[in-house]
Amino acid sequence: MQRSCAPVENPMSQSVDVREAAARWFSRNQAPALSPAEQQAFAAWLAASADHRAEYAALERVWQAAAAIDPDRLRRLAVDESTCPTPPLSPPLSPPPSRRASPGWRPALLGLCAALAIGIGWIGWQHDAAVATNGEYQTAPGERRTLTLDDGSRIELNTRSRLEIHYSAGTRRVTLREGEAMFEVSHDAARPFVVDAGMGTVTVTGTRFDVRRDTSGVDVSVESGSVNVRGSAKDGMKGNASRTPDTRLSAGLGARIASDGTVTGAASIDVPGVLAWREGKLVFNDAPLSAVAAEVSRYRQQPVRVADAATGSLRVSSVFSADDTSGLLAALPQMLPVGVRNLPDGSTEIFSH
So where are the chain's domains? Answer: 18-117, 123-273, 280-352
Kindly report the CA angle at 245 between 179 and 206, in degrees rounded to 5? 55
Q: Domain 280-352 - what CATH class?
A: alpha beta
123-273 matches 280-352 in fold: no
Say how many C-beta atoms besides its own lie within 10 A of residue 181's C-beta: 24
Half-sphere exposure of 253 (CA within 13 A, CB side): 15
**Quick one: the chain helix, strand, coil %, rounded to 5?**
25, 30, 40
Residues 13-33: what's their mean pLDDT? 67
**pLDDT value of position 204:** 93
Residues 298-327: what's their mean pLDDT? 92
Q: Does the pLDDT at position 16 exceed 60?
A: no
Half-sphere exposure of 168 (CA within 13 A, CB side): 5
**pLDDT value of position 201:** 95
**pLDDT value of position 219:** 96
Cis amide leading into 141 (omega within 30): no
Name the range with the highest mean pLDDT among 86-90, 177-181, 203-207.
Answer: 177-181
Q: Does the pLDDT at position 269 exceed 60?
A: yes
Q: Does the pLDDT at position 311 exceed 90?
A: yes
Q: Does the pLDDT at position 255 exceed 50?
A: yes
Q: Does the pLDDT at position 245 exceed 70?
A: yes
Q: Does the pLDDT at position 2 exceed 80?
A: no
Query: Which CATH number does 123-273 carry?
Result: 2.60.120.1440
Residues 18-27: what's their mean pLDDT? 77
| 62 vs 93: which has the higher pLDDT | 62
**pLDDT value of position 61:** 65
Contact between 157 and 318 under an 8 Å Cβ cutoff? The reply is no
